[in-house]
Structure 1
Amino acid sequence: MDLSRLGVPVGPMRRVHGGFANRMYRLDTDRGSFAVKEVNTFDRRSPYRAGDVFRFERAAFAAGIPMPEPIAAGPDTLVHRWVEGRKMPEAPVSPAYAFEVGEILARLHALDIAWPEPAVEEPAPRDWAGLAERAAATRQPWAAELGSRAGEFQAIADFADNCPRPGPVVLTHRDVHPWNLLARDGRPVLLDWELSGLIDLSGELGSTALSLAKGPGLDGIEPAVFRAVLDGYTAGGGTLPPPGPSWFVHLISGRLGHLRWNILRCLAGTEAPAGPDLALSQQAAHHGVRGLPDLFDRLPGLVALLRPTR
């Protein structure tokens, strides 16, 4: 992408570390500061609809959704106006912050924006035993644990494929987590819209509420924060779908695909030209092999979070 339209640089473009799938840079020019992102198109798990996402972002920004201003989009490069703010730690947010995120989602879901028909959803991966054999043959540090839990990953795949989704389907961000949020004057700013698209509403709300209510593990979930997201959603004019396991199928199936993607990167044993480096994929594979079965085992307790508190 030709960045000259952004103005005359006042210094070199600087790499900003902290992302996972893509690579981010800050460019300061005589016209302001910009976030320039190189999107990983080398081994994405799903096609990137650059034009559709950019149209959605522009409409959301025009509607007042708190987010960086989208400036330009190409097949593998995105440009946004740079936004100063505090990075959110992977820890429970305040109930007030969670409430406002819920309101933002309600406003976002109410936008009347055309979107192409969704692609046919691929079945959940089921080659876990074969991956475990390859991991053992290449002496991956998590190979034995993957082999012992291959049956559990098959059960997770069954859940991902067969859990009924109650609807409605909404056009939305699809990836609202602390690492995609800033706090500006204590209020949310929503970043990183590349995964935007259509999703069952329950999956969007469950993934968001749980992510904002917990830390890196599952032992410190704050039910009041979880409920604050839902209360904010209804206060913003949204209607909650019926409670059930569908609220967490997007989160679980997404982590299943993410784990397999990182395992394949580790099995290749070489640095990919884009996306996370090999050490980060090793870390993600190690944590996923242990953490995803634990998340799935706790599904009944997560569903219990949907019961209104008195």
Structure 2
Amino acid sequence: MDLSQLGTPTGPMIRVHGGFANRMYRLDTDQGSFAVKELNLVDRRWVYRIEDVFRFERAAFAAGVPMPEPILAGRDVLVHRWVAGETVPEAPVSAASAFEIGEILARLHGLDVEWTDMSTEDPMPPDWPELAERAVATGQPWAEELASQVETFLAIAYFVDTCERPGPVVLTHKDIQPWNLLARDGRPVLLDWELSGRLDLAGELGSTALSLSKGPGFDDIQPAIFRSVLDGYVAGGGALPPSGPSWFVFMIGGWLGHTRWNVLRCLAGVEVGTGPDLALSHESVRNGVRGLPDMFSRLPELETLLV
């Protein structure tokens, strides 16, 4: 993409490390500062719907949703106005922030935005035994842990494919996690919209509320923070869907797919050139191999958060 319309650079573009899927750079020009995201098109798990996402972002920004201003969108690059703020740690957010994010979700779900992508999710590949064998044969550092959890991963994949989603389906962000938020003047700013799309409402609310109410594991979930997200959603005009395991199937399925994608990147053993660095892929696999069985075993416990 031609970035000359952003102004005359006042220095080189600077890589901002830490992205789990793409690569981010900061560009300072005489017209301001910009976040330039290089999209990974080499080995993505799905096709990016750039035009749909950019249209949704522009509508959300116009509606007053706290987020970076969307500036440009191309086949492999997204540009936003740079937003200064504090990173949000992977820990329970404040009740006020949780409530506000619930309100923001209700506002997003009320937007009337054209969305041309009507594709559905593909079944989760049941190839975990083969992946574990390849990991052991190639000496991956997490291979033995994965091999010991193959049956659990097959059960998780079956759950993701068969869990009933009650609806309704909404157009939404789909990835509100601490690492996709900034805090500015004590209030949340939503980042990283490229996964936006249509999703069962329960899956969006469950993923968001759980992510904002816990730390890295599942031993410190704060039910009051979880409920604050839902209270904010209702206060913003939203209606809660029926309780059940569907509230957590999207988070489990997304994590499972992300883990499998990083397993394949690690088995290839080369830096692809786009997307996360290989070391970050290994870290993502280790987190998935240890965290997914734990979350899956706690489903009955997690459902008590909905009562």
Residues 19, 275 of structure 2: 8 Å contact kept: no
Matched residue, 1:156: 156
Moved over 4 A (4+): none
Instruction: For 1:137-152, list aligned pairs within 5 A.
Output: 137-152=137-152
Distance 2:46 2:145 in 1: 28
Residues 92, 213 of structure 2: 8 Å contact kept: yes
Deviations 1:181-209 (A, max 9, x none): 11111111100000000000000000000
DSSP-derived class of the 2:294 partner = helix
Matched residue, 1:42: 42
Is 1:207 the counterpart of 2:201? The answer is no
Distance 2:141 2:32 in 1: 46
Instruction: For 1:1-310, list aligned pairs within 5 A.
Output: 1-307=1-307
Question: How does the TM-score come out when normalised to structure 2?
Answer: 0.98
- Structure 2 residue runs without a partner (length 5+): none
Deviations 1:8-61 (A, max 9, x none): 112221111222211111111111111111011111111101111111101111
- Kindly tell me the number of residue pairs found equivalent between the two proteins: 307
Compare 229-238 and 13-22 and name the one that shifted more.
Answer: 13-22
Residues 181, 190 of structure 1: 8 Å contact kept: yes
Distance 2:188 2:206 in 1: 18
Residues 53, 196 of structure 2: 8 Å contact kept: yes
Distance 1:118 1:152 in 2: 31
- Structure 1 residue runs without a partner (length 5+): none
Compare 79-88 and 113-122 and name the one that shifted more.
Answer: 113-122
Distance 1:28 1:284 in 2: 31
DSSP-derived class of the 1:183 partner = strand
Give 1:118 shift.
Answer: 2.2
DSSP-derived class of the 1:192 partner = coil
- Aligned alpha-carbon RMSD (Å): 0.8
Distance 1:120 1:230 in 2: 26
Residues 52, 114 of structure 2: 8 Å contact kept: no
Distance 1:72 1:160 in 2: 35
Distance 2:115 2:205 in 1: 20
Residues 125, 257 of structure 1: 8 Å contact kept: no
Distance 1:4 1:128 in 2: 46
Distance 1:148 1:25 in 2: 39
- Give the AA of the match of 1:205: L
Question: How does the TM-score come out when normalised to structure 1?
Answer: 0.97
